[in-house]
Structure 1
Amino acid sequence: MEKNNNLNEAFLEVLAESPLFREIEKKELRAMLVCLGGQIKEYKKGTSIFRWGDTISKIGFVLKGNVHVLRETYWGKESLLGRIGPGDLFGEVYACLPDLEFDGTVVAQTDCSILFLNLNRTIATCSSACHFHTQMISNLLQILAQKNIAFSRKLDCLSHHTIRARLMEYFSKQAQICGNSSFSIPLNRQQLADYLCVDRSAMTVELYKLKDEGILDFDKNKFTLLE
């Protein structure tokens, strides 16, 4: 794992587009990352970034590549909790609770560049009274709130016992969010099955049953709920 603190233009663009740095001037980013103890690390595909039992004090921010958040049972069965790409955060909840051991694994799915930010410096205003601190704290709170809402919506889906009921709960939520009976979802079939914690083949069979029964129509990731 090679350490690298060079923030190139491509990385700056990723930062500038991220919700974490909303309303923070691009020209301020370099100085801000120094203030926040920012450190960029490179990871090869398949390398663990966080491991089970780690205590975390830094937020991970993906600059390049993709990482997977995994959880493994006592018997070795592995499940995918999340896919994280450029501009997304990971580890922020555990960084807020530094005495809590991480109960999963974060693995580089591709070669990755990860920016780590010291949480204590992020949430506390510094001696220089940098004005971006207040904005960044507000941004981080919004991100945490949005993730909490997304988790609550997922729990609503998983509270149903059948694949059909989970699918209809998910599609109902998407239609309500879009305000339209026709909508696109940000997941492919495998990702949708992982999200709903169901077998992909069984889910696909259920999707076509719903289509044959005139309950919904779909083409790839575009769906329409029918009367």
Structure 2
Amino acid sequence: MRKDLATIGSTILFRGFEEPEIQQALSCLGGTVREFMRKEVIFRPGDILDSAGIILQGQVLLCKESMEGVRFIFSELGSGEIVGETALRATREESGYEAVAGTECRILFIQIHKIVRPGGHTCSLRARIIENMLALLLENNRTIYQKLDLVSHKSLRARILHYLTLQARKNNAPQFVIPFSRNDLADYLTVDRSALSRELQRMAVEGLIRFSKNQFELLYPYGTEVLSRPRKLSNR
């Protein structure tokens, strides 16, 4: 567990905590590390969660399914982020989505109800953890608004460019690796996988992007989103 303290300390939930304080908080909250294989379900819609998970290693995809049975990904979480935030609520509620391991991952599940709904012993760090929990919920809201902004784009190309521009800004470089396979990217953009592949090829021919599998390079200024470029004959 000691080797994971840096990752735990990087989460919003433990922001501003020194290592001894993190250890103290974890002793109050308890904690169990679980490992998941790629595509393994972590929890399903309808599950009532009593533990929030800190991702120590790997990637977690948060998914929903439409009434027609179409799956889409509405968020992707990585090392240091928290999954299962419904466990942070004062009332026990069902999860409204599915969490799936996007890669092999390790997750530390903590009994957050011991802070939210303490019984006898109250952790001396309770107030600070609750303050950070509010910051976490605000961050989750920001992520939801980002996804709404993405799907508000009507055209497939606009969605692709919006997503790739955000990734370039996040990495502060025009070259980056996205955390999705082609199928997962289609689910995240809520578009058809074949249509996505065709549009990526067109964008490469037109000189907008260069890519190989999940490695991308933007060939336009990523401070703005460009919907067209003079056509080129190769993806060099």
* TM-score normalised per structure 2: 0.70
**Cα pair distance change 1:63/1:225, threshold 3 Å:** same
Partner in structure 2 of residue 57 of structure 1: 50
Letter in 2 for 1:225: Y
Partner in structure 2 of residue 145 of structure 1: 138
**Cα pair distance change 1:54/1:76, threshold 3 Å:** same
- C-alpha deviation, 1:25, in angstroms: 1.0
- C-alpha deviation, 1:104, in angstroms: 2.7
**Cα pair distance change 1:78/1:136, threshold 3 Å:** same
Paired residues of 1:57 and 1:96 also in contact (CA < 8 A): no
2:220 to 203, 217, 225: 225
Residue 146 of structure 2 is aligned to residue 168 of structure 1: no
Paired residues of 1:65 and 1:86 also in contact (CA < 8 A): yes
| C-alpha distance in structure 2 between counterparts of 1:67 and 1:187, whole Å | 10
Letter in 2 for 1:203: L
Residue 22 of structure 2 is aligned to residue 29 of structure 1: yes
| C-alpha distance in structure 2 between counterparts of 1:33 and 1:165, whole Å | 44
Letter in 2 for 1:40: T
| C-alpha distance in structure 2 between counterparts of 1:64 and 1:102, whole Å | 22
Partner in structure 2 of residue 71 of structure 1: 64
Aligned with 2:73: secondary structure? strand
- C-alpha deviation, 1:174, in angstroms: 5.6
Partner in structure 2 of residue 103 of structure 1: 96
Paired residues of 2:87 and 2:113 also in contact (CA < 8 A): no
5+ residue gaps, structure 1: 1-7
Letter in 1 for 2:159: R
**Cα pair distance change 1:60/1:198, threshold 3 Å:** same
User: Is the deviation greater in 49-58 or in 105-114?
Assistant: 105-114
Aligned with 1:221: secondary structure? strand
Aligned length: 216
- C-alpha deviation, 1:163, in angstroms: 0.3
**Cα pair distance change 1:83/1:157, threshold 3 Å:** closer
User: Is the deviation greater in 18-27 or in 189-198?
Assistant: 189-198
User: Is the deviation greater in 53-62 or in 106-115?
Assistant: 106-115
Paired residues of 2:61 and 2:75 also in contact (CA < 8 A): yes
| C-alpha distance in structure 1 between counterparts of 2:104 and 2:151, whole Å | 32
* Residues 79-119 of structure 1, C-alpha deviations (whole Å, 9 max, x = no match): 33444343221111464264432233334456654322233
* TM-score normalised per structure 1: 0.72
1:199 to 192, 215, 222: 192
- C-alpha deviation, 1:35, in angstroms: 1.6
- C-alpha deviation, 1:207, in angstroms: 3.1
5+ residue gaps, structure 2: 227-236
Q: How does 1:125-144 map to 2 (within 5 A)?
A: 130=124, 132-144=125-137
